[in-house]
Amino acid sequence: MSFELTDEQALTREAVRQFADTAVAPLAAEIDRDHRAPLENLPAMAELGLFGMIVPEDLGGSGAGSLSYIIAVEELARRCATHAVIVEAHSSLCCWPILTYGSPQQRQAYLPDLAAGAKIGAFALTEPAAGTDAASLTTSAKREGDQWVLNGQKVFITNGGFADVFVVLARTDPEAPSAKGISAFIVEGQSAGLTVGDPERKLGIRGSSTTPLIFSDLRLPSDALLGQEGQGFGIAMSTLDGGRTGIAAQALGIAQGAYEAAVAYAQERVQFGKPIARLQAIQWMIADMATDLEAGRLLCYQAADREERGLDFAVQASMAKLFCAQMAVRVASTAIQVLGGIGYTESYPVERAYRDAKITEIYEGTNEVQRLVIAKSQLR
Ligand SMILES: Cc1cc2nc3c(=O)[nH]c(=O)nc-3n(C[C@H](O)[C@H](O)[C@H](O)COP(=O)(O)OP(=O)(O)OC[C@H]3O[C@@H](n4cnc5c(N)ncnc54)[C@H](O)[C@@H]3O)c2cc1C
């Protein structure tokens, strides 16, 4: 890997890899099979500091920086994509907007608990009729005296089943042009008027709790507004810019895990009197996978590094997400090919990697959306 890591970043990789190997890997197949969240691992993840990596030290986090955080997500995903997305949605989609747009009071009220993993965060933008076209969302927040009253429905909310804090996007001005009338709110998980629906049964990341949320006259204090009234769409879009690097890292980790399983198998499996790794056909697959991983890692780390250094990184994040998502599907598919028939069964983690990889092409902006962002930057 030609991207130079600092000692701290290298230590983060080592610590999270060890945790993933010992505590995450043994649970990964079971939570996938049972479609259940790995709640028993959350305290240990909190202990390791995984929920506070992008939160500064004065707010209870470690302030480890974007690249260390990305490495942690990658290492979790190498063993289990579900564990990775729990941390990613919590950090990139909930901690980040509160840190960036929250008032000093909001930051103090939420970030220390979120950073400690005492509370888990989530982000609620998507609705049944507003996916890619997020600006058409219809969940409403109406001002009544000094309160906001929330009504509407969200779908596909990661961490929905157990989150304590939601960043929710709602329409506050029905008269304003679509994106302009949207505001962001901080909603607590136990609020009266919030119903969390049943988790979706999914192709992959089956342990990740993906739920609908229904708001029925949910009353919020005026200070639940995050940022300025009407700023919500911008908050959501900038949140997703950072999130995309996180999903690129998830895809990278899924691909890395599948690749390692394929290399190990190729060295053990004997056909025609020798390990299949000695067949040029298999070597070419390994070469392609290794090259894909290197390219994806460079793109992903570059986006995170730019973010950490305060440079524009939105286009690089879209490129990283687009490339890594497609690369993860490709690498996981090739890994199954290397294993042959046994790769198609649950005996090895490569079939799970293949199923898990697919979501990275869809959430936090589909491949098509990433291409729109990239093309726009090129055609300016
Ligand atoms: C497991 C899972 C977890 C998720 N977690 C969250 C979460 O935590 N919070 C949250 O708010 N949302 C979440 N989502 C929602 C996710 O971000 C959306 O599913 C995604 O943005 C796509 O929206 P959609 O499903 O409505 O598809 P649609 O927008 O209906 O798109 C359907 C197809 O049309 C294409 N398309 C749409 N518009 C265009 C266009 N202008 N140009 C080219 N192609 C286009 C899309 O690329 C796609 O191929 C999650 C979804 C899943 C499945």
Interval between CA 62 and ligand 1 midpoint (Å): 32
Residues 137 and 205 both lie in one domain:
yes
Which of 89, 118, 147 delimits the end of a domain? 118
Residues 337 and 280 both lie in one domain:
yes
d(CA 219, CA 21): 44
Query: Looking at the 3D structure of the chain, how many domains does it have?
Result: 3
Residues 218 and 283 both lie in one domain:
no
Q: What is the mean pLDDT of residues 42-54?
A: 98
Res 181: pLDDT: 97
In the chain, % of residues over pLDDT 70 = 99
Could you tell me the maximum CA-CA distance found in the chain, to the nearest angstrom?
A: 80
Residues with CB under 6 A from ligand 1: 89, 123-126, 131-132, 156-158, 202, 210, 359, 362-364, 366, 368-369, 372
Q: Which of 188, 200, 364, 368 is catalytic?
A: 364
For residue 315, being part of any structural domain is answered with yes
Res 177: pLDDT: 86
Residues 272 and 305 both lie in one domain:
yes
Interval between CA 367 and ligand 1 midpoint (Å): 10
Domain residue limits at 282: 240-378
Residues 265 and 301 both lie in one domain:
yes
Residue nearest to atom 32 of ligand 1 (CA): 132
Closest CA to 335 of 314, 316, 350: 350
Res 175: pLDDT: 93
Q: Compute the mean pLDDT over every residue in the chain, rounded to the nearest whole number.
A: 97
Tell me the one-letter amino acid at 69.
Answer: Y
* pLDDT tens by residue, 353-366: 999 999 999 999 99
Residues 162 and 107 both lie in one domain:
no
Res 13: pLDDT: 98
Residue nearest to atom 29 of ligand 1 (CA): 132
Residue 63 has pLDDT above 90, yes or no: yes
For residue 365, being part of any structural domain is answered with yes
Region of residue 35 (phi > 0: left; psi between -120 and 50: alpha; otherwise: beta):
left
- Relative to the CA of 364, which ligand 1 atom is closest? 17
Q: Work out the number of other CB atoms within 10 angstroms of the CB of residue 356.
A: 34
Q: How confident is the model at residue 324 (pLDDT cuts 50, 70, 90)?
A: very high
Residues 284 and 325 both lie in one domain:
yes
Q: How confident is the model at residue 1 (pLDDT cuts 50, 70, 90)?
A: very low
Which of 177, 210, 233 delimits the end of a domain? 233
Res 89: pLDDT: 98
**Residue to mutate (ligand 1; options 156, 187, 250; most atoms within 8 A of CB):** 156
Res 2: pLDDT: 58
Q: How many residues does the chain have?
A: 380
In the chain, % of residues over pLDDT 90 = 98
- Relative to the CA of 367, which ligand 1 atom is closest? 47
Residues 104 and 84 both lie in one domain:
yes
Which of 118, 153, 180 delimits the end of a domain? 118
d(CA 295, CA 335): 17
* pLDDT tens by residue, 227-242: 999 999 999 999 999 9
Res 314: pLDDT: 96
88 is a catalytic site residue: no
Residues 26 and 88 both lie in one domain:
yes
CATH code, domain with 194: 2.40.110.10
* pLDDT tens by residue, 158-204: 999 999 999 999 999 999 988 999 999 999 999 999 999 999 999 99
Residues 369 and 245 both lie in one domain:
yes
